[in-house]
Amino acid sequence: MLLFYHFTLGFFSSYFGSLTPSMLNMTAAKISINKGKNSAIQFATGVSIVVFIQAYIAVIFTRFLRSNPWFLHLLQQIAVVIFLFLSYYFYKQFKKDKIEIKETKQASKNSFVIGLILSSLNMFSIPFYCGITTAFDGAGWLHFSQIYIITFVIGSAIGTFVLLFTYLQFAQTIAAKSKTLAKNLHLILSFLTGILALITFYKIL
């Protein structure tokens, strides 16, 4: 039961953390439109493999720091800053007028490799997972035994894949409604990350 619980934590934190239209999501939609769903699935697989590695690094880093109370307190403070930044970032995105699916020059190349490269360039991922795992740890939701870490990370990778699959499955609709979709999701995530910042701040008082 605990394994399923950790899988669910990883899945939903990854899915909802990546929900808003972004470079990776919209690239998946663009590849689906231009090259077909099979190529987009290859792209999503490449992205998810990198997310697996990034999430694992973040969890191991969090586990290492939590063994020292001073480091744990510092990490919780950092998590508050990360969540406040995320809340502000999502709010700023909400205020923007539009989001576009940009043309990609790599469209003719291997979609799997593109997924690996673009996901590796996403430096936002590891700080996000550090923040989310610290919040889960502070709430007593996350166990740091190796089996639970792997289960959480697998859930994170699959959550990312399912999210990208959703984008590529409804690529045409998302392309047509990306402006409204982005604004609504950015506002929701701004609110949610703001709540996480408050919860984490309360934990360190």
Q: Are 153 and 59 in contact (CB under 8 A)?
A: yes
As given in the structure block, the two tokens for residue 169 are 């499955």
Whole-number Å distance between alpha carbons of 54 and 41: 20
**Could you please report the per-residue DSSP string of 1-44?**
-HHHHHHHHHHHHHHHHT-S--HHHHHHHHHHHHH-HHHHHHHH
Residue predicted with more confidence, 122 or 8: 8
Query: Tokens 């984008």 map to which residue?
Result: 167
Amino acid at 173: T
DSSP state of 145: S
pTM of the model: 0.71
Q: Are 112 and 46 in contact (CB under 8 A)?
A: yes
pLDDT for 105: 45
**pLDDT above 90: residue 162:** yes
Give the list of residues 6+ apart from residue 197 with CB closer than 8 angstroms, or none: 79, 80, 83, 84, 87
Whole-number Å distance between alpha carbons of 32 and 140: 40
Interval 190-196 mean pLDDT: 73
Alpha-helical (H) ranges within 96-145 are: 111-120, 125-138
pLDDT for 142: 87
| Dihedral, CA of residue 148, residue 54, residue 164 and residue 37, to nearest 10 | -110
Would you give the distance in Å from CA 92 to the centre of its chain?
Answer: 18
- The per-residue pLDDT of the chain, averaged, comes to 79
- Least confident window among 9-23, 83-97, 171-185: 171-185
Confidence category of residue 12, pLDDT binned at 50, 70, 90: very high
Tens of pLDDT, residue by residue over 19-54, are 766 778 878 888 888 888 899 999 999 999 999 999
Whole-number Å distance between alpha carbons of 83 and 160: 20
Tens of pLDDT, residue by residue over 79-129, are 777 778 777 776 776 666 544 444 444 444 689 998 898 888 877 788 788
